[in-house]
Amino acid sequence: MMKSIFSRAIRLTISCYALFPLASKTLGQAEAPELPNSYRLVYSQNFEGPHPETQFTKTDEIAWRTRSMHRGSASSKTLELFGKSQYKPPHRSPFNMAYIKSTVVGDFVLDVDLLQTGKEYGHRDMCLFFGYKDPSHFYYVHMATATDDHAHNIFIVNDAPRIKITKRTTQGVQWGTEVWHHVRLVRKGDLIRVYFDDMTTPIMVASDDTLGEGHIGFGSFDDTGMIDNIKIWAPSVSNKEIAPFPSRP
C-alpha cells in the first residue's frame, strides 16, 4: 500500500513539472517565438564569451562597457550603457546607440532582455534600432513610461528629424527598479510589432517599408540601461559591416 501511494506521488510530481515547464526559466530562456519555416537563428549573444563588445559599433565607446552582475542566484555578463554619448546626430534622433557590426537583415524576429537603470520620468526609455543604413536613415522603437508624439512610439529617421509612424501604441511601460524585461521586435514586410513581457499582445504596431534591410542596435535616447540575451531569427542575412561613428571630440 505504502509503495503504491509513493509511486502515485512520484507520478504526480513528474506531471506537475510537465505542466509547468516555464516556472524556472530565466528571461533569457523565454519561450521561443513561432517562426516561418524559412527563418533561422542568424545571431545570438549573451556576453559571456571573450570581448563580446567588439561585435558592436557605438556612437561613443566610452559610454558602454561589459559588466558582470547577479541575476537571481547566478552571475551574468551584460552590455551596459552607463554614460551619455558625446555624439551629435545629423537629425533629431537618439544619442546612445550600439549596433551589431556585421548582421544585416530585412524581415526578422528579435528577442532581447532589457533593464532600464535611469531615474523615473515620462520619457524614461530604452530603444531598439533596425533597418539602420547610416546616421540619417534608420527606424527605432522608443519604449518609455508615458506616450506622446516623441516618446513610446515607433519612429523613422529618413534624412530628417524622427517622425512617428506608429498606428497603435499603449500608455507606456513600467520599467521598475532593477527589473529585467523581455522584449520582442518583429518586422515582416511593412508590418512592425513590438512586445513587452507579454509575447501575445503587441504594445506597438506600425506599417512602413520606406527603409529596407539594415543593421539592428540597442540603446536609449538619453538614458542608461543594460542589454542581454540577444537572439535574431531571419530568412536571410548579409554581413556588410557598419561604418564607424565619428570619434569622440
The three cell numbers of residue 136 are 540619417
Q: What is the Cα gyration radius of the chain? A: 20
The predicted model gives 54-65 an average pLDDT of 96
pLDDT band at 15 (very low <50, low <70, confident <90, very high): very low
pLDDT at 73 over 60: no
pLDDT at 247 over 90: no
- pLDDT score, position 82: 97
pTM: 0.86
Question: Coil, helix or strand for 13?
Answer: helix
Q: In this structure, is the dihedral angle defined by the CA atoms of residues 162, 96, 54 and 49, taken in order, positive or negative? A: negative
CA dihedral 65, 130, 237, 114 (to 10 degrees): 40
- The residue ranking higher by pLDDT, 189 or 69, is 189
Q: How far is CA 243 from the centre of its chain?
A: 21
Structural domains for the chain: 31-234 (2.60.120.560)
* Distance spanning both ends of the chain, measured CA to CA: 80
Instruction: Report the C-alpha gap between 141 and 136 in whole angstroms.
Output: 16
Instruction: Report the C-alpha gap between 125 and 145 in whole angstroms.
Output: 7
